[in-house]
Chains A and B, each alone.
Chain A
Amino acid sequence: MSRKSTRLDLRPTDGKVLDVNDLHVEFRTRDGVAKAINGVTFSLSHSETLAILGESGSGKSVTAQAIMGILDTPPAYVTGGQVNYCGTDLLKMEEKDMRRVRGDHIAMIFQDALSSLNPVFPVGWQIAEMFRVHRGMNRSDAQAEAVKLMERVRIPAAKERAGNYPHQFSGGMRQRIMIAMAIALNPRVLIADEPTTALDVTVQAQIMTLLKELQEESGMGLILITHDLGVVADVADDIAVMYCGRFVEHCDVHRLYANPAHPYTVGLIDSIPRLDQKGEQLYAIGGLPPSLTNLPTGCSFNPRCRFATDKCRTPGAPPLIEVEDGRFAACYHTEEVLNRERV
């Protein structure tokens, strides 16, 4: 057996499988330095689901890529922080070890399943590759494992379909294949980057149900990256709301929806069309997200914020502080936001 075939021995020390501390990532481009992530801190426990919610450009996917160590360098550089997995800093790990962490310990699924699969190999072969490469299995054993996995993600007639190519599957089935590959080696952390964005609602419901069931079976920690407030409300335990590369609010899902503590979260939740506001103006956050190469001084949200004062424009972003028990927000006016007049 090759050296690769053994699992890297990493075990959680204090119940936390993943602990990200003050992560900074920047993109050095011709137009200047884009600060994509500016100090992200969170931890993930066994069986926990953390949703990272944000709009395009907020840095949610870059956070995931930094954890996986798959950022394109250049232009992206990790300029600070740690990503501790079971007590080991992944950012300091050598690439050859990191390759054994990916898939085996931390796995990821992407939004676009079609472009993540290789079009010229049968899907069964691609799933089996996980076992051949990471576990040193021979072809027939690996193929048998692949079929078992396809059954586990509820692909009908798995044995027959293992020989099919990605284009012969529908969008939902392709995403199931991606999930099969991701959970093949029983990872402790699964990062799902917009797993249902490209899918229809009926298929989206199937995939989210599947992810929940798999998590219950295996107890893996799940990081769900999404922009859809509806999906989050259904599955997440905790939510982190990202804006311009920072967590602006981080708390359990119930309190966040009931009464958000950050003006940006307020705006997001109020802009969902509601029944009792039918025909009226939707609440809309004014303006546009700022350019990452030229962030506003102070709080990045201040130009669009109705609570903003001069303090919000003084240099230095507001820190993410505990405003209630277990609830974090990065705003100077949290009191005011929590006690605001409801629309």
Chain B
Amino acid sequence: MSESELSSGSEPRRALTPSGVGPTTEDLGPTRASRHVGVEPILSARNLTKYYPLSSGVIRHTVGHVKAVDGVSFDLFPGETLGIVGESGCGKSTLGRLLVSLEKPTSGSIIFQGQDITTLRGSQMRRLRRDIQIVFQDPYTSLDPRKTVGDIIAEPFKIHPEVVPAGRRQARVKELLELVGLNPEHINRYPHEFSGGQRQRIGIARGIALNPKVLVCDEPVSALDVSVQAQVVNLLVRLQKDLNLAYIFVAHDLSVVRHISDRVGVMYLGRFMEMGDEDQIYDRSTHPYTQALMSAVPVPDPEARDKRELIVLHGDVPSPANPPSACRFHTRCWRAHEDCSVKVPELLPRDDGAGGHDSACLYAEVFSKASEDITAADQVG
């Protein structure tokens, strides 16, 4: 895909679609993304891949690759939240690490404000890192136990001294602590003196210290208890409004992702299976994998117990070192047809009964209870 297509801006969603294939955005109803027409995406990925070599034998020759991320494209617009969900091993964390340049992509490009960042080096790269920051999952291992909270949050200023002059740093750290709801007087305490939720707030303070434009949140609330989780989610929502941040919110908890996200992408074995507005994915998903994932989420309402249609997927996720051909989901799909193992389904807008949104299924269809494709054996509920 050429640079000129990417920077056209006026039709950001068109760029995802190989020309001439399938319906175009114009044919379908308005989606939330179409509000962004005319707005430049702040961060885009095009055909992004990351392969990890698998070696074997005494001389460690490469025998294959783990295809952690395998051809991912998306746009992130200023101030919005893109949720990324999927099971463990689907590549969602690797994608997050690629976006902040903690990993180098095997191929593809990441465009930040019109510039391909995968080719940047040295000082240019350092300058860029100010704008894209990350919050990690585990607040216990992502903070250096031998540094005080003040040192941890001020560390970005050592690498980027131009952001805050040396004399004002202490004050800025206190400001940040206050911003994330911690007591600024605790600046000289060590991480072990804080609880899990408080540590995650420290991680967030470090993430926003350099006034980034994009914050990648890699499972930021997964390690926290329910009552504390809500506090941190509220903090992230508030910071987004106050600082006009764009979030990539990687998580496996689908209800939290729904709460915080404007758009959601569903990943399976390194690829997006479906992407759309939060309500398109949760209420009108057309991809069988999304439907199975949604149906498996336990609903915190005992009255819904017998009414739920639970699609139980058989077997486990196949190895990303040797993914199934064509559609990666066809080995576990209850709707698979013969050509699913031959014909690669593109991520294209497909009809969902109310407009349409991107789905990578040849037989995209909104799930209905009467669907004949689901045999009684596949259904428990």
Contacts and interface: CB of A to CB of B under 8 A. Distances in A.
A305 interface: no
A282 B259 contact: yes
A254 B198 CA distance: 34
A112 to B, nearest CB: 14
Interface in B215-234: 225-231, 233-234
A271 interface: yes
Contacts of B226: 55, 227, 229, 268, 271-272
Given A200-B87, A278-B259, A233 B299 contact: yes
Contact of B302 (A208, A209, A254, A282): A254
For the residues of B in contact with A, the DSSP-based class is helix
A303 to B, nearest CB: 13
Interface in B304-350: 304-305, 310, 312-313, 315-317
Contact of A56 (B88, B225, B298, B380): B225
Nearest to B232: A284
B195 interface: yes
A203 B254 contact: no
A205 B299 contact: no
Contacts of A277: 259
Closest 7 CB pairs of A and B: A230-B298, A273-B259, A284-B230, A271-B230, A200-B87, A55-B225, A205-B296
B292 interface: yes
Given A227-B225, A232-B300, A282-B234, 5 more contacts: A201-B254, A202-B293, A227-B226, A233-B299, A285-B227
Counting chain B CB atoms within 10 Å of each CB, the highest count among A201, A230, A236, A281 belongs to A201
Interface string A221-241: 000000111111110100000
A257 interface: yes
Given A201-B293, A257-B302, A268 B258 contact: no
B296 A201 contact: yes
A1 interface: no
A202 B296 contact: yes
B345 to A, nearest CB: 20
5 contacts: A170-B317, A200-B88, A201-B87, A208-B298, A278-B259
B26 interface: no
A120 interface: no
A205 B292 CA distance: 10
Contacts of B255: 230, 272-273
Given A200-B87, A285-B227, A269 B293 contact: no
B341 to A, nearest CB: 20
Contacts of A234: 298-299, 302, 305
A200 B298 CA distance: 12
A298 interface: no
B373 interface: no
Interface of A: 55-56, 156, 170-173, 200-206, 208-209, 227-234, 236, 253-254, 257-258, 267-269, 271-273, 275, 277-279, 281-286, 288-289
Contact of A281 (B234, B292, B312, B316): B234
B252 interface: yes
B312 A209 contact: yes
B113 to A, nearest CB: 27
B125 interface: no
A229 B253 CA distance: 13
A245 B179 CA distance: 34
Contacts of B302: 233-234, 236, 253-254, 257
A272 B221 CA distance: 13
B227 A172 contact: no
B321 to A, nearest CB: 14
Contacts of A267: 227
Contact of B300 (A55, A202, A269, A281): A269
B301 interface: yes
